[in-house]
Amino acid sequence: MPEFLVGESRDPAQAHRRLFIGLIGAKTPRHVSYTPASGSRAGWVHDLSRRQPTGVPGIMEANNKAAIENFRSEGAAWLHFGFTPLAGLSREREVPGASEAFSWFTHWLWENGNGVSPARSQLAYKQKWTPHAILPEHIAFQGRAQLGGVRRPPRCRPRKPHPLTSRR
């Protein structure tokens, strides 16, 4: 699993990242960077993407399709879509002693936080690719839950793997 956070540029994995750029004429409406993933589901991580707000619909999908075809031709088996903040949180998965207040806040933020985070649209985009496995996420604190802890980026990020090869 990559050992870097979004925005780091001096990371040893930096040299292995791949960038796919969607062009229409001379404009760059969208790009996606991919990072190698190791482990039992080795492949690539759909890492960081950007598009202009006025970008043409479907550019992201075309970029990702081109990347998938390229990675398949190189023998990669998995594409991981990564962490989507607050997606998949549920009362059934909470551990005993979970903070009721923090649970309420995270569920409220998921329902009402479009102005703070694009998590819902990120999840909708990822679901278009029919992920093979969706791993639940957990938020943990040392000691009591505190809102200040939310600002610190997580060091472990669950992945949404998508098989690049057909299932056998």
Is 49 within a domain? yes
Q: What domain range includes position 118?
A: 12-163
Cα distances from 68 to residues 12, 43, 126, 166, in angstroms, run: 24, 10, 14, 13
pLDDT digit string (tens) for 50-86? 766 666 778 888 889 999 999 999 999 999 988 787 8
Q: What mean pLDDT comes out for the span 97-107?
A: 85
**Amino acid type, 161:** P
pLDDT digit string (tens) for 7-47? 455 666 667 888 888 877 777 678 888 989 888 889 999 88
CATH number at residue 26: 3.40.630
Is 40 within a domain? yes
d(CA 95, CA 120): 24
- pLDDT reported for residue 147: 62
- Calculated CA dihedral for residues 92, 98, 104, 108, nearest 10 degrees: -70
- pLDDT reported for residue 71: 95
Q: How many other CB atoms are there within 10 angstroms of residue 59's CB atom?
A: 20
Is 83 within a domain? yes
Is 5 within a domain? no
- Calculated CA dihedral for residues 31, 60, 156, 17, nearest 10 degrees: -40
Instruction: Answer whether 0.85 is exceeded by the pTM.
Output: no
pLDDT digit string (tens) for 112-158? 888 777 788 888 888 888 888 777 777 777 777 666 655 554 444 44
- pLDDT reported for residue 55: 66
Is 4 within a domain? no
Is 116 within a domain? yes
The count of domains in the chain is: 1
- pLDDT reported for residue 24: 77
Is 24 within a domain? yes
Is 168 within a domain? no
- pLDDT reported for residue 28: 67
- pLDDT reported for residue 78: 92
